[in-house]
């Protein structure tokens, strides 16, 4: 049964998945059952079924996903307008047996509202410089990078801001986050 949710957000190419992986490894090293999931995974799975697309390819950072990104965002917004927590519930359901769940891709206030109201949680924003994001392949796309899916949490007050800057040590920040989680279990 899920005891704690770490809800991570950040801009494209900020390193959300990388930081989630490091946090997961750190928490697991303390003997705690931990899983990492993405809200977008359940969205992409359903979108792929409906549109007869390759789900595995939609999970990559390649051109296949980029080809469908704008339409997936619009379709996802329509689904959320009917039920704002539909993809959050699906993500948690897939890892219900873990003590700690790391959700690596929160993008909306409603995502945080769901996790904060249903679980003990920690909100984390992964931040990286524009230069570092560009080094990781970021290119601004109108209609994507200025949409709610990228900007909806820009003014949110996060519990922790994790600075993921190239060449800087992440270990002290990861250890601090692990300590917060372990103390709240």
Q: Where are the domains of the chain?
A: 4-183
pLDDT score of 4 more than 90? yes
What is the pLDDT, as a whole number, of residue 16?
96
The torsion angles phi and psi of 121, rounded to 5 degrees, stand at -145, 165
pLDDT score of 156 more than 90? yes
pLDDT score of 121 more than 90? yes
pLDDT score of 13 more than 90? yes
SS (H, E, C) 82-112: HCCCHHHHHHHHCCCCCCEEEECCCCCHHHH
Q: What would you measure as the largest C-alpha separation in the chain, in angstroms?
A: 45
What is the pLDDT, as a whole number, of residue 105?
94
What is the pLDDT, as a whole number, of residue 147?
81
The span from the CA of 62 to the CA of 66, in Å, is 7
The span from the CA of 179 to the CA of 24, in Å, is 12
DSSP code of residue 62: S
**Residue 42 contacts by C-beta under 8 Å, 6 or more apart in sequence?**
87, 90, 91, 94
pLDDT score of 144 more than 90? no
Residue percentage of the chain with pLDDT more than 70: 100
CATH architecture of 4-183: 3-Layer(aba) Sandwich (3.40)
pLDDT score of 3 more than 90? yes
What is the pLDDT, as a whole number, of residue 61?
79
Residue 37 near residue 131, CB atoms below 8 Å:
no
pLDDT tens-digit profile of 22-73?
999 999 999 999 999 999 898 999 899 999 999 999 988 789 998 998 899 8
What is the pLDDT, as a whole number, of residue 184?
95
């Amino acid at each position: 049964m899920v005891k704690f949710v770490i809800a991570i957000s950040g801009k494209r190419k900020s390193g959300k998945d990388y930081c989630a992986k490091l946090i997961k490894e750190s928490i697991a090293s303390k003997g705690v059952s931990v899983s990492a999931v993405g809200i977008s995974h359940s969205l992409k799975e359903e979108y792929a079924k409906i549109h007869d697309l390759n789900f595995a390819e939609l999970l990559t950072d390649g051109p296949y996903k980029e080809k469908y990104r704008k339409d997936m965002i619009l379709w996802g917004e329509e689904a959320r307008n009917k039920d704002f927590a539909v993809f959050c519930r699906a993500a948690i359901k897939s890892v219900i047996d873990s003590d700690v769940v790391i959700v690596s891709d929160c993008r909306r206030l409603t995502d945080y509202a769901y996790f904060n109201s249903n679980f003990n949680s920690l909100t984390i924003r992964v931040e990286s410089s524009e230069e570092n994001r560009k080094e990781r392949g970021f290119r601004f796309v109108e209609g994507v990078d200025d949409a709610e899916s990228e900007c909806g949490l820009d003014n949110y007050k996060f519990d922790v801001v994790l600075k993921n800057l190239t060449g800087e040590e992440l270990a002290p920040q990861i250890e601090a986050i692990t300590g917060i989680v372990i103390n709240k279990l």
